[in-house]
Amino acid sequence: MVTADDVRGVGLALPRTYEFFTGGRYKLKVKQIVYAAFSKDETKMGFGYPKDARDGLIESDPETFFLPPPRDLRYQWVCAHLDRLEADEMRELVVDAWRMCTPKMLHDLPELPAPAAAAWNAMDSGEWSDLTALLHPSLQFADGDVALRGRRNVLAHLRAHPTPKPPVSVEVRDGQVYRWSR
C-alpha cells in the first residue's frame, strides 16, 4: 500500500521538484507545471499521463485508476487510489509524470545511482553546501573537454561555469559521487 508520503519521497527526490499547497491540496510541481496532486484526504492522486493512453490504463485496472473530473479532462491527467498502487508502479508513474514536464536531458537522472540526481539538482540550484556533502573528496569529474580531480577543484569549476548537463554515468563510493562522466 502506497501513501502520499511515499509519493512525496519519490517526487521530491527528482530534480527541480517542489511541493506547493493550494486549495487545500498538496501538489508536486516543476516550475509552474503540476505533475502530481493529492486529494484533500491524501487517499487519491492525480498525475500527468498521456491523454491518448489513459483509457487503456483505466481499463487495465478500473479499481485503481479513474478519470479526473470533467473540468480536467482537457489535460494529460489521470487519477489513482493510492492504497491500490504498489511502490514500484507508483514510482514509475510519478517519474514518468515528472518527465512530461522536464527537459529531455534530465530524463535519465532517476535511473542513475543515488545521489546523482540530488547532486545534479544541487548544482542546478546553486546549493553548494548540499552539493559538497554529496561529492566524494577524491571525485573524478569528466564533462566533455573538462577533466578534474578532487571535490574542491570541481566545486570551484562549477561555481564559475554554467550548470553542466547531467552525467551519463556515475560511480558511488561511501554514499557520495566518486566518478561523474558526461
Beta bridge partners of 34: 29
The confidence score (pLDDT) of residue 147 equals 97
The confidence band for 58, taking pLDDT boundaries of 50, 70 and 90, is very high
- In the DSSP assignment, the letter for residue 75 is S
CATH topology for the 4-102 domain? Aspartate Aminotransferase, domain 1 (3.90.1150)
Cα–Cα distance for residue pair 167/180, rounded to 1 Å:
6
DSSP string, 81-119: EGGG--HHHHHHHHHHHHHTTS-GGGTTGGGSPTTHHHH
Beta strand spans in 115-164 (E): 135-143, 146-149
111-181 carries CATH number 3.10.450.50: yes
In percent, how much of the chain has pLDDT > 70? 100
Show contacts of 19-26: CB within 8 Å, 24+ apart.
none
The confidence score (pLDDT) of residue 81 equals 98
Positions of CATH 3.90.1150.30 in the chain: 4-102
Positions of CATH 3.10.450.50 in the chain: 111-181
Read off the pTM: 0.90
Q: Give 61-80 pLDDT, tens digit per residue.
A: 999 999 999 999 999 999 99
The confidence band for 1, taking pLDDT boundaries of 50, 70 and 90, is confident
Average pLDDT, the chain: 96
